[in-house]
Structure 1
């Protein structure tokens, strides 16, 4: 096996990551999401790749739902504040980081 994807409802602790890195013949890939530790932490235990999977898309869909509900219930669009403008969206690196 060249890689392993670990997906768990909670946070995987350091002992588990260390055991997995030692036990997998190849790079260890970990799926993270909300409440996960900063990426430097699993990387320090030898995790080769960290993925967010569908988490970013799910967060974007939540914004769409909040905006639609607000528009339908209150008739306002305040939940859309903080969005990217087209100049930033279309820049090669996605604008400022």
Structure 2
């Protein structure tokens, strides 16, 4: 799990400090998890905090991604869009649905 946590942090382009702060855990605890020094791994509260940061918890626990790379990028781009930009895919989806 430690290596996958590091990969997720890199994918999200976050520092250890940013990840820990946003996830509500200490930097020391994050380092322990990333280095695989806790055989029990992260607890449910820590996993929820990491998920709130954008960490793919399924990947963290199983090594399997929920979404393919292109799907993940689409979702990440959508989340980074302005409210006005977010309206466009919904409009396009409705137009396709009606045809």
**Which TM-score band applies after superposition, normalised by the shorter structure?**
under 0.3
Quick check: which one's helix share is greater?
Answer: 2
- Give TM-score, length-normalised by structure 1: 0.26
- Give TM-score, length-normalised by structure 2: 0.26
Quick check: which one's strand share is greater?
Answer: 1
The structure showing larger relative contact order (alpha-carbon pairs under 8 Å, at least 6 residues apart) is 2
